[in-house]
Amino acid sequence: MNTTIVATGSAMPERRIKNSYFLDRKFLNEDGTPITKPVEEIVAKLEQITGIKERGYISETGDSLPLLTAGAEDAIKNWGKDRNEIDGIIVAHNAGNMLEGRHGFHTVPNLAALLKNRLGITNHECFAYDILFGCPGWVQGVIQANQAIQNGDANNVLVVGLEVASRLLDPYDLDSMILADGCGAAIISKGEKQGIISYATFSHAQDDVSCIYLSKSYNKEWDDRTLFKMNGKDVYKYATTWVPQVIKKALDKAGLDASDVDMFLFHQANGKMLHAFANHLAALYNIEGLNFDGKIPTTIEFTGNTSVATIPTMLDLILKGNLGDYKITPGMKVVFASVGAGMHCNALVYQF
């Protein structure tokens, strides 16, 4: 029995935030002292390192559900079948339903239940649950969907990755310029094509457990909102060390190596990190001069880091012919790989 991606969908906020949006910011250090470097220089440096030129934020009014529903509806429309044939819904996210006005978020009821309700799926045997697994959450959701299908518990599973980071950002923190909002979805089904070949997941959760966390603003006079925080250097070190190794683990299970892969869909954290992934992976296989040209698409320049939504959104853009010259054709082997809070990382090898 094979497990295949039979449809994809995505939704991006219409509200576009260019880097110039941040030029009137007053950035602070962790201890609350001002960063004295000119803000123009700060913004330019961020663009140089990350590659981000713009990103999307949802409206300042409303909650997360319109974006979540739009991404899922797009996948169902592209599938073209009765939505009550969906046997399971898995929603990967980081903070539940983000509420209007930056005042907090709700995790009860869970997002998958809210989505099932919004989609009008009345099949009571269709399970609906959330996973909190940081940025690798959508890939892990696909792995779990595959397991449900292989165990005979489902034939079609809707897996959605949702990020509404704009409601968790500290405007005084430099990292507030990196994260953004988005939603990507896919329907995973029992099929005849090769589909999922192998996968691997690492969860360390040792000293790295506090690399990404929620805390208060760097502005000590601000209110008690719970906001996103990241130890960037530690995250970079973890990601560049372990993502290549988890990819190798998945490829080894499939009897493949890096040269057999036609495309890598990496989590889009920053441009520098993507190059490090490729170089370190080549080193693990002792392959000098491994050619990654045309194999590593990027979306970060216009989406920002959309966390758990990154890979499904990028996949949907490529399959619809909306990401430059990148194309996926039958027979191509593609690796999905992500890393995030926990710290966790995972990789999935897929043949189209």
Which SS3 state, helix, strand or coil, does residue 88 take?
A: strand
**Contact indicator for 76, 187 with CB cutoff of 8 Å:** yes
- The Cα 214–Cα 207 span in angstroms is 16
Distance between CA atoms of 83 and 121, rounded to whole angstroms?
A: 6
CB 103 within 8 A of CB 172: no
Separation of CA 15 from chain center: 19
Structure tokens at 156: 């079609």
Q: Which helix (H) or strand (E) holds 233?
A: helix 232-254
Residue 85, number of CB atoms within 10 A of its CB: 14
Tell me, what amino acid is at 203? Answer: S
> Quick one: pLDDT band at residue 103, thresholds 50, 70, 90?
low
Q: Which residue has the tokens 């929603």?
A: 91
Q: Are 247 and 259 in contact (CB under 8 A)?
A: no
Pick 316 or 223 by higher pLDDT.
Answer: 316
Q: How confident is the model at residue 106 (pLDDT cuts 50, 70, 90)?
A: confident
Listed range (219-228, 296-305, 319-328) with the worst mean pLDDT = 219-228
CA–CA separation, 20 and 53 (whole Å): 9
Between CA 183 and CA 74 the distance in angstroms is: 10
What is the value of pTM for the model shown?
Answer: 0.95
What is the phi/psi pair of residue 201, to 5°?
A: -135, 135
CA distance 25 to 281: 38
Q: Count Cβ atoms below 10 Å from residue 139 Cβ, excluding itself.
A: 30
What are the pLDDT digits (tens) for 50-102?
Answer: 999 999 999 988 899 999 999 999 999 999 999 999 999 999 999 899 987 65
